Amino acid sequence: MRAVVAAAALVLWACASASPPAAGESRGAVPALIGVRVMVMPVQSTRGVPGDATSELVYALRARGPAVRWVMPDTLRAQLARAPALDVPLDGLPVGMFLQVEVNRLGDPMFGYLRRLNALTGAPVALIPVEARYRATTAERPGAVELVAALVDAQSGRVGWFGIVEGEAGDAASPRSLASAADALARLVAGR
């Protein structure tokens, strides 16, 4: 039942806009994911952020969302190794479109990858961390690590939520900068 509620919530998405949101903004709504199986993709790209963004996010999700049934990247890799015919490039997913235009529904090949992973894992929702990047200090804002991410219904390809969260102000080289951004995203999607 919870999976049905989460899938229904993912169908909702925001009205169209001319450009992707800035840090702190988002489109759509994060559904209640308690008890729902959620596939967590590895962070697809990093710009100006040292360290392992995927490991930081996995740690934060486990700490903030113990009631969510996360299917973490290491589990996805292990399952894909046992089913190589599925041919899903887990660390090289075609997610660049999220950084260029508003995406309300995924097409192929990305949708096909998510459907195959859904069939493999039984997880109806995918958390796709598109990019970890460092936003340099400007006159208006201090520098911070930002995480660009989306929650997608793996069975329909609909993007239920897309946003950019930022961590605490800090230097790009500081491990705390990346950790705080991962924690901000985990708090948002896990509802804590």
Q: Where is average pLDDT lowest: 5-14, 38-47, 102-111?
A: 5-14
Rg (CA), the chain: 16
- pLDDT of 68 reads 97
pTM: 0.88
Q: Domain 2-13+23-190: what homologous superfamily?
A: ABC-type transport auxiliary lipoprotein component (3.40.50.10610)
Q: Judge whether 60 and 185 are in contact, CB under 8 Å.
A: yes
Task: Compute CA distances 26 → 53, 75, 159, 166, whole Å.
Answer: 21, 28, 12, 12
User: Is residue 192's pLDDT more than 90?
Assistant: no
**pLDDT bracket for residue 13 (50, 70, 90):** very low
Domain limits, the chain: 2-13+23-190
Residue 130's H or E segment, with its range, is: strand 125-135
pLDDT at 2: 45
| Side-chain-facing half-sphere of 105: CA atoms under 13 Å | 7
User: What is the mean predicted confidence (pLDDT) over 51-70?
Assistant: 97
